C-alpha cells in the first residue's frame, strides 16, 4: 500500500530537512503534492522577505519645519439653527511667529477645524508685523495700546525674562521678545482682543 503525505502535514513540516528525503522516496503522485506545497511555501517566503515600503520607518525623510511656528490660542464652536436642524461652525484664533521679530494674529472660520486653521494662518500671514528689538531681545521703550475693551501695556525690564500672561505671552514669545513686563488692563477674557491689543502696542515701537 502506497503511503501518502497530507498537504497539511507538509505545511507543518515546511523547511525540515527530513521531509525532503521522504518526498524523494515517495511515488510520483505524492511528489506532485509536495511540489505544490513547496511552491506555496516559497511564495509565502518571498512575500515575507520582500522589502518594506519606502525603506521602512527608518528610511523616511525628516519633515522640514515651516518658516513660522503657530499656536492656537482660542477655539470656539458656533451653532446656527437652520430649517433642518443646527449647523455648527468653528472659529479659531492663531498666532504665528518666527521668534526673530516677526509675528501675526489671524482669525479663521470654517465648517471644520482644519479649514478654520488654514484660514486663520493665511490671515495671520497677511497681518505680519516686524518688531524692532534691542540687542538683548527686549523692546526700545514702553508702549501701551487699546483694542476693543482690552488695554495692554508692555514695559522693558532688563534681566526679567518674559513676564506676561494670557495671549500676550504667546504673541511676545513667538515674536522672540524677552526682558519685558506686561500688564493687561481689562476684565475681558477674550483672547482675540487681548492678542490684537498686544500687536497694536508693538506697532507703536520706534527705534531710537
pLDDT digits (tens, 9 = 90+) for 55-77: 445 555 554 467 889 999 999 99
Query: Residue range 87-103: average pLDDT?
Result: 93
Model confidence band, residue 6 (pLDDT cutoffs 50, 70, 90): low
The answer on 188 and 104 residing in a single domain is: yes
Cα separation, 198 vs 208, whole angstroms = 20
Q: What is the CATH number of the domain that holds 151?
A: 3.30.160.20
pLDDT digits (tens, 9 = 90+) for 102-126: 999 999 999 999 999 999 999 999 9
Within this chain, do residues 31 and 98 fall inside the same structural domain, yes or no? no
What is the rounded CA–CA span in Å between residue 117 and residue 90?
9
Residues 31 and 99 in one domain: no
- Asked whether 73 and 104 are in contact (CB, 8 A), the reply is no
Question: Both 78 and 41 in a single domain?
Answer: no
Q: Confidence class of residue 84 from pLDDT cuts 50, 70 and 90?
A: confident
- Nearest CA to 71 out of 142, 146, 168 is that of 168
Q: Is residue 53 in some structural domain?
A: no
pTM: 0.66
In this model, does residue 29 exceed pLDDT 60?
Answer: no
CB atoms within 10 A of CB 29: 9
Range 176-180 average pLDDT? 93
The verdict on 84 and 183 lying in the same domain is yes
Q: Distances from the Cα of 50 to the Cαs of 14, 65, 130, 173, in angstroms? A: 19, 32, 53, 49
Are 128 and 196 within one domain? yes
> How many residues are listed for the chain in this entry?
208
pLDDT at 127 over 70: yes
Q: How far is CA 18 from CA 21, 29, 54, in A?
A: 5, 19, 39
The verdict on 90 and 173 lying in the same domain is yes
The Cα–Cα gap between 189 and 158 comes to 29
Co-location of 98 and 31 in the same domain: no
Q: Which structural domain, as residue segments, surrounds residue 1?
A: 1-45
Number of domains in the chain: 2
One domain for residues 91 and 38: no
Assigned domain for 51 exists: no
- pLDDT of the residue at 188: 86
Residues 6+ apart with CB under 8 A from 145: 151, 152, 197, 198, 200, 201, 203, 204
Q: Provide the pLDDT for residue 2.
A: 45
pLDDT value, residue 47? 45
The pLDDT score that the predictor gives to residue 52 is: 47
DSSP class of residue 179?
Answer: S
- In tens, the pLDDT along 184-200 reads 998 888 999 999 999 99
C-alpha cell at 147: 483694542
User: What 3-state class would DSSP assign to 144?
Assistant: strand
* Whether residues 28 and 78 fall in one domain: no
Amino acid at each position: 500500500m502506497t503511503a501518502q503525505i497530507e498537504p497539511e502535514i507538509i505545511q507543518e513540516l515546511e523547511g525540515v530537512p527530513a521531509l525532503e528525503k521522504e518526498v524523494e522516496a515517495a511515488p510520483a503522485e505524492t511528489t506532485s503534492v509536495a511540489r505544490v506545497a513547496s511552491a506555496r511555501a516559497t511564495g509565502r517566503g518571498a512575500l515575507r522577505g520582500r522589502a518594506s515600503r519606502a525603506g521602512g520607518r527608518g528610511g523616511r525623510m525628516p519633515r522640514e519645519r515651516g518658516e513660522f511656528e503657530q499656536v492656537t490660542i482660542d477655539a470656539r464652536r458656533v451653532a446656527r439653527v437652520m430649517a433642518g436642524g443646527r449647523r455648527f461652525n468653528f472659529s479659531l484664533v492663531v498666532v504665528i511667529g518666527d521668534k526673530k521679530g516677526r509675528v501675526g494674529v489671524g482669525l479663521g472660520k470654517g465648517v471644520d477645524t482644519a479649514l478654520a486653521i488654514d484660514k486663520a494662518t493665511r490671515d495671520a500671514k497677511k497681518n505680519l508685523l516686524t518688531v524692532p528689538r534691542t540687542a538683548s531681545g527686549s523692546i526700545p521703550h514702553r508702549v501701551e495700546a487699546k483694542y476693543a475693551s482690552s488695554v495692554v501695556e508692555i514695559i522693558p525690564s532688563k534681566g526679567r525674562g518674559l513676564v506676561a500672561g494670557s495671549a500676550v505671552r504667546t504673541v511676545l514669545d513667538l515674536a522672540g521678545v524677552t526682558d519685558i513686563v506686561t500688564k493687561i488692563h481689562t476684565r475681558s477674557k477674550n483672547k482675540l482682543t487681548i492678542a490684537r491689543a498686544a500687536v497694536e502696542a508693538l506697532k507703536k515701537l520706534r527705534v531710537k
